[in-house]
Amino acid sequence: MKFSRFFSFAGSALLAGFFAGCGRDDRPVLHVYNWSDYIADGLIAQFEEAFGCRVVYDTFESNEALYAKLQAGAAGYDVIFPSSYYVSLMAEQGMLQRLNHANMPHLKHVDPAVLAAVSLDKEMTFSVPYMTGTTGIAYRKDRVPDFEASWRVYGRSDLAGRMTFLDDMREVLGAALKTLGHSLNSTDPAEVNAAADLVIEWKRNIARFETVGYKAGIASGEFWVVQGYNGDVQMVIEDNEDEDIVYALPEEGFAIWEDTMAIPAGAPNVELAEQFINWMHSPEVAAANIEFNYYHCPNTAAYALISDEVREDEMVFVPAETLARGEQIRDLGEHLSLYNRAWDRVKSAH
């Protein structure tokens, strides 16, 4: 009887499935929620071995998505990587744990210059800086030979369908605000709405809003001009050995941001989380990450360990004069709803 054999096979497979699920792993588990492609390959495995634990690694694509997920009661994360301008919002709402610096001796390596200039949580009460970088435009010089380093490239209809923006409210509205000569932390409704109108005009020329897919897109030639983060773009250039991709910081200004590590309130494994954050700032680990993702990890001990090539790379360690054109993204407090409405208008417009 064919089917009875199937049944016994299926039955035992089901049982095997049930029981295999249990008793598989007794190691403590650390749940990490991070941006994608942010930690060097192999480092997680190193951490697991060093601390005898298992790491479950999840990725998100925007601060809003991270925030929304935590608000929805996703209580299982131990370490999260919010951008600095989200930390105060989350701290106010009691969503973050206070950090116990006694458990994290490596924090002494954190670069005080960056803390002073860029960080928003300068005392590292709730968050520890992880990486800082810039947001600019990456373009393919073989397809766009006449590129000018300006956000107004998004107004070029000859490039329509071949450009993308990040799917990030602050980044896109920020770019428009800078183009109009305003601060990207402006709380003036007139300025923000004018920026939204400009983006709506630009929207006609873009293929889509893409926070992750633009990397593969520009490498494959699907997109020619993308708004992107300096490290991500550099990773694409290095991985594909593609010299036709160039990263540019627009003349009107650009965003400077900092991503941090934090522990959500109610995290299941606070101790392991603090050990993880501490370990991430051990000089070798920080150096490995810089070499991997081409961002600036503010760890003074790591600077000595990275290769000369990376240390002198102006995309990673931006010189002061260039940096002066940029502006840091700050928390907007209760004015966030102004931007939310403007962004909604942008997303829904034709």
By CB under 8 A, name the binding residues for another protein.
1-4, 6-7, 10, 13-14, 17-18, 21, 31, 33, 36-37, 56-59, 61-62, 64-65, 67-69, 71-77, 89, 93, 158, 160-162, 203, 206-210, 212-213, 215-216, 219-222, 240, 340, 344-345, 347-348, 350
Taking the complex as a whole, how short is the minimal distance between the CB of residue 325 and another protein, in angstroms?
Answer: 28
Taking the complex as a whole, how short is the minimal distance between the CB of residue 71 and another protein, in angstroms?
Answer: 4
Please give the Cα distance from 232 to 344 (Å, whole number): 27
Taking the complex as a whole, how short is the minimal distance between the CB of residue 208 and another protein, in angstroms?
Answer: 5
Could you write out the DSSP letters of every residue in 17-40? HHHHHTTS--S-EEEEEEETT-S-
The nearer residue to another protein, 29 or 194, going by C-beta atoms, is 29
Centroid of chain to Cα 103: 26
The nearer residue to another protein, 206 or 318, going by C-beta atoms, is 206
Please give the Cα distance from 164 to 218 (Å, whole number): 10
Taking the complex as a whole, how short is the minimal distance between the CB of residue 290 and another protein, in angstroms?
Answer: 21
The nearer residue to another protein, 7 or 311, going by C-beta atoms, is 7
Taking the complex as a whole, how short is the minimal distance between the CB of residue 321 and another protein, in angstroms?
Answer: 34
Amino acid at 195: A
Taking the complex as a whole, how short is the minimal distance between the CB of residue 44 and another protein, in angstroms?
Answer: 10
C-beta of residue 167 within 8 angstroms of C-beta of residue 61: yes
The nearer residue to another protein, 3 or 146, going by C-beta atoms, is 3
C-beta of residue 155 within 8 angstroms of C-beta of residue 202: yes
CA nearest neighbour of 48 among 32, 68, 37, 35 = 32
For β-strands 54-60 and 29-35, DSSP reports them as: parallel
Helix (H, G, I), strand (E, B) or coil at 137: strand
CB atoms within 10 A of CB 163: 24
C-beta of residue 56 within 8 angstroms of C-beta of residue 32: yes
Taking the complex as a whole, how short is the minimal distance between the CB of residue 37 and another protein, in angstroms?
Answer: 7
Please give the Cα distance from 172 to 176 (Å, whole number): 7
CA nearest neighbour of 258 among 87, 171, 133 = 133
The nearer residue to another protein, 60 or 130, going by C-beta atoms, is 60
The nearer residue to another protein, 118 or 192, going by C-beta atoms, is 192
Taking the complex as a whole, how short is the minimal distance between the CB of residue 337 and another protein, in angstroms?
Answer: 8
The nearer residue to another protein, 218 or 297, going by C-beta atoms, is 218
C-alpha pair distances (Å), 44 with each of 12, 31, 53, 131, 258:
35, 12, 10, 17, 22
Could you write out the DSSP letters of every residue in 81-115? --BHHHHHHHHHTT-BPPP-GGG-GGGGGB-HHHH
The nearer residue to another protein, 29 or 310, going by C-beta atoms, is 29
The residues near 60 (Cβ < 8 Å, ≥ 6 apart) are 33, 34, 35, 66, 69
Taking the complex as a whole, how short is the minimal distance between the CB of residue 14 and another protein, in angstroms?
Answer: 5
Which one-letter DSSP state was computed for residue 149? S
The nearer residue to another protein, 168 or 327, going by C-beta atoms, is 168
